[in-house]
Amino acid sequence: MVRKNLFLAFAFSICFFSGFAHAKGNVTNDPSWNRLTEDQRKVLSPLSSEWDTLRPWQREKMLDIAHDYPKMNAEQQERVQRRLNKWSRMTPYERENARKKYQAMKELPPEKKEALKQKWHEYENLPEEQRDQLRQSHQDAHPPQKSAQ
């Protein structure tokens, strides 16, 4: 289960940080959850229970998403909501691993990025049973490591 979450985190990070989060150059006032607008709270609702514990840079990225959300089409908005829900269910350890994997992916040469995207697309198109078998074989070959927290 941990490996699946890490994989989801990695996939989420690639899309999340590459497509929706962008620096605006303006530093926000770092508002508490109660100071957000109704529209911001609606978009960011999966993060409501932890909003006040997020770091300022994390809040800023989330506010960027909320700002851009009305300009997105329905499919993009649905994708953002799915990703925020997945992200909100991850542990801090899983999130940190996702960030590290995203950074590693970002530093890959373009041809390796494309090859990885192609493999991911192939994986997504497999029947669920085959994906389960692949996940299980990966878990058997790479048992989860205990975090040193």
State the amino acid at position 89 in one-letter form: R
Give mean pLDDT, residues 132-146: 79
Find tokens 């090859």 and name the residue: 115
User: Does some domain include residue 149?
Assistant: no
CB of 111 closer than 8 Å to CB of 43: no
Domain span at residue 95? 2-22+31-141
> How high is the pLDDT of residue 103?
92
User: Does some domain include residue 48?
Assistant: yes
User: Does some domain include residue 66?
Assistant: yes
CA distances to 26, 43, 134 from 79, in Å: 26, 12, 25
User: Does some domain include residue 147?
Assistant: no
User: Does some domain include residue 146?
Assistant: no
User: Does some domain include residue 116?
Assistant: yes
Q: pTM here?
A: 0.58
pLDDT in tens, 4-26: 554 555 555 554 544 444 444 33
CA distance 18 to 10: 12
pLDDT in tens, 81-129: 999 999 999 998 998 999 899 899 899 999 998 998 899 889 889 899 9
User: Does some domain include residue 148?
Assistant: no
Give how many domains the chain has, as a whole number: 1
User: Does some domain include residue 56?
Assistant: yes
> How high is the pLDDT of residue 141?
82
CA angle in degrees (0–180, nearest 5) for 75-77-79: 70
CA distances to 13, 40, 68, 123 from 94, in Å: 11, 25, 26, 21
CA distance 45 to 11: 21
CA distance 40 to 135: 36
